[in-house]
Structure 1
Amino acid sequence: MNRLCDSMEPRVMDDDMLKLAVGEQGPQDEAGQLAKQEGILFKDVLSLQLDFQNILRIDNLWQFENLRKLQLDNNLIERIEGLENLTHLVWLDLSFNNIEAIEGLDTLVNLEDLSLFNNRIAKIDSLDALVKLQVLSLGNNQIGNMMNIIYLRRFKGLRTLSLSGNPIAEAEDYKMSICAHLPDLVYLDFRRIDDRMKELAEIKHQYSIDELKHRENLLQARLQDEQARREELEEHKAAFVEHLNGSFLFDSMYAEDVEGNKLAYLPGVSELLEAYKDKFVIICLNIFEYGLKQQEKRAVELDTFRECVQEAIQENQEQGKHRIAKFEDRHLLSLSAIRDESEPTNIERKIAEYSEDITELFNVLMTLEMQLVEQLEETINMFERNISDLVGLFIENVQSLMAQCRDLENHHHEKLLDISINTLEKIAKGELDTDLPDDVHATLTSHLTSGHGALVSPQIHQDETTRNRKRVKEIHQYIDHVQNELDNLECGDAVD
């Protein structure tokens, strides 16, 4: 199916090949000769033609960062690669090569016209980044599955498609099916699709298309829900309360606590653990709700600060414009008066007066600028104090809530220890009514041998304490973030 180039050895895309191509395809007149003498920068090249070069591998194109059109047809290329820097590419021709898979196009977000005619491609995929795709040529390949056409439904701007010469094109219902699944298509296999064909296709495949649309709508709704959850999670992260609106933190504390899970078989432990969980989750919800409210307050404080800064700048600029406007009103009159004056003494006097006006304007504008700097400095200091107060209150209250978690944890461990000791004593006396699993019995026996105090694993307690401290650390990180944002704002305002 592909053109064979046995007459020549495969070639490498090196600088020599690229320089020669750029030189030959550039202007040939006097301007072209001058450009060749001075050297042509690859970054300035907008179009590059490299067809019939026996190229085996795409390489060394990273310098063509502004390239719009690239022609690589009729070569020996086996893989689509080396194009990641060509983000401005609009037109790409890779027809008549030996490409087996569509790949390496993820950065070509501006590509509108893609030709992969006469290759060895069996599947249409990996085109998701090409959101501007309008023309797609895939004729003379090995595409045989109708699912490939369904994949193309996501490209709402696709108007021209070529699939002739593929196994899929041999189906009796080929054109009708394509028209039904891609209703916005204008040209198929280089022929315009008439309205009558579209109507017939819609009628014939109405049931399958309706079912497909239903599945697409469900998928779209699911994607939107996932996006909404991601955005919500980002909001929670910004407030440093992610995953605190449920039992996630509690469940994660005991997810890998194998020994603790075994103790749930002890009489009364299950109820004790459930009560502990309920109270723990309530505290987490309190932290969560409080964190969101405080984040809103910090956001309002930041918005207020920005509004104050903008108002101060705008008012200062208006004063400056007003003074400049008054100066310009006198400007033309002063110049005209100087030009019309014939007496040297009067000319010198008027020039001196005009010079004083200019100096005065300069001083006024500089004074306004200094006043603005002082005003913004005061605003920034006030913002810093307000944020510090909010953050300090935030930390104080969250630490108090976390202390409640630790107290609750200690109380739970004390109760669990009492139950465990009582159970061990009953086992020793043979008074336990409930039969325990062997591994639970072994766990209790081990603790009985090593002493009752070893029942609660120090490592587990340490892990839980570490998690609590991690939350406090995240809050401190938020403080640093707000402080850095303040510093950046101050630097930006000083520059302005």
Structure 2
Amino acid sequence: MSRLYDTIEPAVIDEEILQTAVEEQGPKEEAGKIAQDEGIDFSDVTSLRLDYKNILKIDNLWCFTSLVKLQLDNNIIEKIEGLDTLVNLIWLDLSFNNIEVIEGLTKLVKLEDLTLYNNRIQKIENLDTLKELHVFSIGNNDIKELDNVTYLRRFKKLQTLNISGNPISEHEDYKIFVVAHLPMLEYLDYRLVDKTSKQAAYEKYEIAILELQHDEKQAEKKAEEDLTKKKENDRHMNAYVEGLSGPYLFESMYAEDAEGHKLKMIPGVDELLLCTYKEKFTEICEQIFEYGLAKHDERMVEKDTFLECLNDAKNENKALAAEKIEDFLDYKKKLWADLNQISDQKMLEMSIAEYNQRTTALWEMLMMFEMQLVDQLEDAIKDFERNMSDMVSAFVETVQGYFTQCRDLENQHHERLVELSIITLEKVVKNEMDEEIPDDVRELFVDKDTIINAVSSSHDVHLLKIDNREDELITRINGWMTDFIEETHQKEEISRNRARVTEINNLIDHLRDELDNLDLQTAPY
């Protein structure tokens, strides 16, 4: 079924193959010469053909972040991989390869046209994220089960499907089954699906379709509920208060507390524990939880406002620079028309000198705009860091107060438990215990030191749990603030500035090269 190149060594997608392909498929004539001289940035390439190159493994395409169309057909590829960074891909051709499993496409959420024709695929799967899929070609593979067709019902925008040449296409009711189960199709196996065929197909499979729709609605409802729950959980995580809504922290204190489980069996402890301590402890945790969510929302508003200010400043600066460049290009267009009309050497030299001066002035102007933007963004980042630092500090201080209340409750409980344990010890010694005590609990009442050690051990476990949860919360929120500032300033802003300076320099070099390449009747001095 698939193309096999038995006598040719498998190729690797390396720098040389990519460079050659980009140059061959890039701009031609003068534009192509400029592109080759200046070098083509892979991140700017939107279309790439790597067909008929005997490629075995997809690799080294991570630079092609702007790629919209990719052809990898007629190779010997066995596995779909190495495509995660191509998030702008709309059209992908992997036909005539040796692929056995559909995988590695999860990140390609913009994909509209996917061709896997003539491979070794047995099952249609792992395409759930491709919500924009319009065209899907999976013909000439090894798909045997009609259930593969029902999988495609989730792609509401799918209009064109080619699945011919698979074992399922030999089924007696193949076409009518596909049309009935995929009512959104306009074309099946390169033929138009008319309304009459759709109606006839639906009538034949009406009961099965209704049952399927019912199951899909139930599954969709469950998925929505799960998504809502996940969003809530994510919000709790991002607010650093997950597990603080309810008795989770309290219960976790006893999860690894062997002594505590025994102490709960002492007569009177259960009432002390459940009716008093647990209730108050959980109430404080709920206060931390609600406070944490409220302050998280405030931080997100501050963050969004900050990012919006940054974008506004960048867009305003970009528009200002674009206006100056447009003015210069208008001047250049007029100058180019005038230069070929000038026969006087001195006048020609003056015009060229003026062009060079204005080119330099444009460079200075653009660099000045960029420096102004850098200063503006630097001030904005500092202001945000100061404001966010104040917000985080206030949040941490309040949360620490809540956790102190939790520790105070634990200390109070510990003191009461010590008192109750001593009273119980005295009753055990005097054989005055009315209630039955399990043997492993009775072993704690050998003497005063044993029971006090058990109570103290349980107390230490509880305090450690409280301390660890407090430390975790504070560490995570401080880490978030540090990482966000570093990401915004150190990575994004510095990278943007470097790219902008390079862009300005490349523009000026290009403008000067254009003058040098002009075929003037009188050569410049």
| TM-score, structure 2 as length reference | 0.66
User: In terms of mean alpha carbon deviation, does 255-264 or 462-471 score higher?
Assistant: 462-471
SS in 1 for 2:136: strand
TM-score w.r.t. the length of structure 1 is 0.70
The alpha-carbon deviation at position 195 of structure 1 amounts to 1.0
* Residue-by-residue CA offset, 1:22-41 (whole Å, 9 max, x unaligned): 45445665765675566555
**Amino acid of the structure 1 residue aligned with 2:130:** L
What percentage of aligned pairs have identical amino acids? 49
Structure 1 gaps of 5+ residues are: 314-372
Letter in 2 for 1:440: V
Residue 455 of structure 1 aligns to a residue in which SS?
Answer: helix
Matched, 1:57 2:67: no
Aligned to 2:280: 279
For the 8 Å contact 2:176–2:201, the answer to whether it is kept is yes
- 1:139 maps onto 2:139 in alignment: yes
Aligned partners of 2:423, 2:456: CA distance in 1, in Å?
15
Q: Secondary structure at the match of 1:406?
A: helix
Query: Match of 2:460?
Result: 459
1:21 CA drift (Å): 3.8
Q: 1:299 to 1:438 in 2, by over 3 A?
A: same
* Pairs within 5 Å for 1:198-237: 198-236=198-236
Mapping for residues 471-486 of structure 1, pairs under 5 Å: 473=474, 477=478
Indicate conservation of the 8 Å contact 1:391/1:479, yes or no: no
The amino acid that maps onto 1:281 is T
Partner of 2:176: 176
2:259 and 2:454 in contact (8 A); partners too:
no
Decide which structure has the larger Cα Rg and report it: 1
Q: Deviations over 1:48-92 (max 9, x none)?
A: 333333222223333444333222222211111232333332222
- Which residue of 2 is the match for residue 406 of structure 1? 407
Shift of 1:121: 0.9
TM superposition shift of 1:462: 3.4
1:152 corresponding residue in structure 2: 152
Q: 2:343: which partner in 1? A: none
Cα deviations by residue, 1:402-445 (Å, 9 ceiling, x for unpaired): 44433322232233233333444444444445544443344x15
Q: How does 1:24-423 map to 2 (within 5 A)?
A: 24-26=24-26, 32=32, 41-236=41-236, 241-275=241-275, 276-289=277-290, 401-423=402-424
Aligned equivalents of 1:294 and 1:8: distance in 2?
Answer: 63
Say which SS state the counterpart of residue 265 (structure 1) adopts.
Answer: coil
Residues 51 and 71 in structure 1, CA contact (< 8 A), matched pair in contact too: yes
- In the other structure, the counterpart of 2:6 is 6
Give the length in aligned residue pairs.
419
Cα 1:172–1:441 shift into 2, 3 Å: farther
SS of equivalent to 2:225: helix
Letter in 2 for 1:10: P
Deviation, structure 1 residue 113: 1.2
- Corresponding letter in the other structure for 1:417: V
SS of match in other structure, 2:92: strand
Cα distance in 2 between the residues matched to 1:33 and 1:289: 63
Distance 1:225 1:131, change over 3 A: same
Distance of aligned partners of 1:115 and 1:261 in 2 relative to their CA distance in 1, 3 Å threshold: same
Q: What residue identity is the alignment partner of 1:49?
A: R
Separation (CA, whole Å) in 1 of partners of 2:454 and 2:258: 16
**1: CA distance, partners of 2:485 / 2:38:** 47
Deviations 1:359-382 (A, max 9, x none): xxxxxxxxxxxxxx9xx99xx89x
Q: Distance in 1 between matches of 2:246 and 2:253?
A: 13
Compared with structure 1, are the counterparts of its residues 434 and 238 closer, same or farther at alpha carbon in structure 2 (3 Å cutoff)? same
Is this contact kept in 1: 2:425–2:447, CA < 8 A?
no
Q: Which has the higher contact order (CA 8 A, sep 6+)?
A: 2
